[in-house]
């Protein structure tokens, strides 16, 4: 169907493997945003409830547009500080897991750009979930800081976007060197 010269050029340039690598990296990045990041986020909330020995109700779900999501409702009394930690625990756990996965990939060495794309996707998932104003607004409301919501939200968004961009840039540079 294709001329022999075209087939030989395609095989010798290894285009297929480069495109395959790009597709895998994109799939990992998107799954970090839609699946792993939100899953770790909800596990952070659940971990805080377990740490507080508090009963909770968990309602998971999935949507093609926003991926995995969940609602964790405490079924016990929490002080203002504990309630604020409850709301922050999702973001904190995703942030720590993303950084941890990236650091693991850097320490292991060769062929770990896949881990960096997954970690980058997890960090971008924080940015995506902040736009819903759920946990951030609730955390600030628990601390009676609603007047400071916009500056705090702006710093959180810019910080997450900056670190995610930096990770993607380093992953791209690491691939060019190898």
Q: Is the pLDDT of residue 158 over 90?
A: no
The gap from C-alpha 3 to its chain's centroid, in whole angstroms, comes to 45
28: tokens are: 């990992």
Name the residue ranges covered by the structural domains of the chain.
4-177
Please write the tens of the pLDDT for every residue from 81-133: 999 899 989 989 998 999 888 888 878 776 667 888 888 889 888 877 765 56
Handedness of CA 91, 96, 97, 102 (dihedral sign): positive
| C-alpha–C-alpha distance, residues 145 and 149, integer Å | 7
Eight-class DSSP state of 148: G
Block residue for tokens 């904190």: 92
User: For position 129, what pLDDT does the model report?
Assistant: 75
- Model pTM? 0.74
Give the tens place of pLDDT for each residue, 6-42: 666 666 555 556 777 788 888 999 999 899 999 999 9
């Amino acid at each position: 169907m294709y001329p022999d010269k075209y087939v030989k050029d395609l095989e010798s340039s290894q285009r297929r493997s480069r495109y395959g690598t790009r597709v895998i990296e994109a799939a990992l990045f998107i799954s970090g945003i839609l699946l792993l990041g939100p899953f770790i986020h909800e596990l952070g909330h659940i971990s805080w409830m377990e740490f507080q020995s508090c009963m909770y109700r968990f309602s998971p779900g999935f949507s093609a547009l926003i991926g995995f999501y969940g609602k964790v409702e405490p079924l016990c009394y929490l002080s203002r500080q504990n309630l604020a930690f409850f709301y922050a625990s999702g973001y904190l756990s995703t942030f720590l897991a993303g950084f941890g996965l990236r650091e693991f990939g850097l320490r292991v060495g060769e062929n770990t750009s896949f881990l960096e794309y997954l970690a980058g996707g997890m960090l971008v998932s924080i940015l995506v979930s902040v736009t819903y104003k759920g946990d951030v607004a609730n955390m600030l409301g628990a601390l009676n800081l609603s007047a400071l919501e916009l500056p705090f939200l702006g710093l959180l968004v810019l910080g997450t976007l900056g670190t995610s961009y930096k990770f993607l840039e380093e992953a791209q540079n690491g691939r060019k060197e190898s």
